Amino acid sequence: MLTMNVDEILFEGMWDIMNGVTLNSYIVRGEKTAIIDGVIGWDGVPETLYKNLEEIGVDPRSIDYLIVNHMEPDHSGWISNFRKIKDDFVIICTDKAAKMVSSFYGEDKVRIVKEGDTLDLGKGKVLSFHPVPNVHWPDTMYTYETGTKTLFSCDMFGAFGRMEEHCFDDELTPEEQDFFESEGIRYYSNVMGTFTASVKKAIEKAKTLDIKTIAPGHGPVYRENPQKIIDDYARFTRYAEGAGKNEITILWGSMYGMTAKALGHAEKVLKREGIRYSKLEAARAGDSEIVASVFRAAAIIIAAPTYEYKLFPPVAAALSEAGRKRITGKAAFRFGSYGWSGGAENELKEIIERNRMNWDFIESVEFEGVPKEEDLARVESGILRLIEKMKEKAE
């Protein structure tokens, strides 16, 4: 296996992944040689792949088959580069990927596979193919090596996060395990969140295979306990639908400190009650962080004022992004200041309805100008009710 760290990119052109991501490629060798998943096609990444291959004693020109589990260019971008050094290889992929391999790279030496099709590489190495559509592209499939019972799962069971010298689950320190759990949540929420229904089907398909190792396209390889990442992903599907950790995420914004004052009181209450929370100022936080934090928490506090008859724009944008990622069913509570007639509340409702988020709201608290004692008391009682709901939803 080859693991390459990629930093300083915007993943999918938009996610600022401050902890990097790995691109994993796998070689399966019988009499014939196959490479499963590849790498991005620019900035010298294919050359690094060739160098790494040579280090493990594989001449790139000896590769017979490119298994394209998923056509997204983070895995397939190097195909055109590879074509320059070798002409007689065959791409193996689903029919949907074949169409894209042709439209993106002009490739037509393709063998299309369907559920259960196999490829015998010789010397007992047999690959079988299992489409798992819409995680997160329509073309995606699993490749399974029958002898070693290895599932090459591509984006499924993946995580963000750069890798140190080791890549197997049994080699990770407890800190690294926590790191990849957290980066797994970030990855799931950013990349897979919209496709939770399909992820559930892919989990069911994985259960039909006898798996000893899970080897994803990003993140650690699970050879000691593949069940762990299956269980984690199952849990993440529940986070997408309203469960979450026993913690609160606060999305906030405040122009002149009126809403911030009420937020200060809210934090005092959370501390007094011993509740874990993270606080994101929507105007400063990146989308990756916002989506991941909203996704992971069982309850959300929205602290934002009215701005031009609507919800404070950075907070509105953050909530819309969570909605686009289909983060549904969270317990939530909003409070905020207004100057004359308000309007934030209407837009909040609009965002929640438009995205069919179905969040379970405690009645909002709005106050004119600076929050008074009675406003702070209403905020406090809202928070206490939110904590109750959080505890019901947490896992």
Read off φ and ψ for residue 238, nearest 5 degrees.
-75, -35
Residue selected from 271, 339, 377, 388 as contacting ligand FMN according to rule CB under 6 A: 339
- 305's contact among Fe ion, ligand FMN, none, with CB below 5 to 8 A by partner kind, is ligand FMN
Among the listed ranges 17-25, 49-57, 60-68, 331-339, the one in contact with ligand FMN (CB under 6 A) is 331-339
Q: Are 252 and 263 in contact (CB under 8 A)?
A: yes
Query: What would the x/- binding string for Fe ion be over residues 300 to 339, using CB under 5 A?
Result: ----------------------------------------
* Alpha carbon distances (Å) from 107 to 32, 84, 287, 326: 21, 12, 35, 35
Q: How far is the CB of 368 from ligand FMN (least distance, A)?
A: 8
Q: Which of 135, 230, 189, 200 is CA-nearest to residue 327?
A: 189
Residue 33 β-bridge partners: 29
Residue selected from 337, 355, 366, 378 as contacting ligand FMN according to rule CB under 6 A: 337
Query: What would the x/- binding string for Fe ion be over residues 144 to 163, using CB under 5 A?
Result: -----------x--------
For the segment 30-89, give every residue that binds ligand FMN (CB under 6 A).
Answer: none
Nearest residue to the partner Fe ion, using Cβ: 72
254 touching ligand FMN, by CB under 6 A = yes
For the segment 199-258, give every residue that binds Fe ion (CB under 5 A).
Answer: 217
Residue with tokens 């489409």: 131
Among the listed ranges 109-117, 158-166, 334-342, 375-383, the one in contact with ligand FMN (CB under 6 A) is 334-342
- Helices and strands per DSSP (H, E), number in the chain: 12, 20
For the segment 68-127, give every residue that binds Fe ion (CB under 5 A).
Answer: 72, 74
For the segment 353-382, give every residue that binds ligand FMN (CB under 6 A).
Answer: 369
Residue selected from 187, 222, 239, 338 as contacting ligand FMN according to rule CB under 6 A: 338
Residue selected from 51, 207, 225, 309 as contacting ligand FMN according to rule CB under 6 A: 309
Residue with tokens 């959370």: 270
Alpha-carbon distance 258 to 232, whole Å? 40
Alpha-carbon distance 244 to 242, whole Å? 7
DSSP of 53-71: HHHTT--GGG--EEE-S--
Q: How far is the CB of 326 from Fe ion (least distance, A)?
A: 17
Alpha-carbon distance 300 to 282, whole Å? 13
Among the listed ranges 4-12, 93-101, 115-123, 256-264, the one in contact with ligand FMN (CB under 6 A) is 256-264
Among the listed ranges 143-151, 234-242, 243-251, 336-344, the one in contact with ligand FMN (CB under 6 A) is 336-344
Residue 35 β-bridge partners: 27, 66
Alpha-carbon distance 164 to 262, whole Å? 43
- 72's contact among ligand FMN, Fe ion, none, with CB below 5 to 8 A by partner kind, is Fe ion
Closer of 153 and 254 to ligand FMN (Cβ): 254
- Which ranges constitute the DSSP H helices of the chain? 45-55, 73-76, 79-85, 95-105, 174-187, 196-207, 226-240, 258-272, 287-296, 313-324, 344-354, 373-393
Binding site for ligand FMN (CB under 6 A): 254-260, 305-309, 337-343, 369
Q: Which residues bind Fe ion (CB under 5 A)?
A: 72, 74, 155, 217
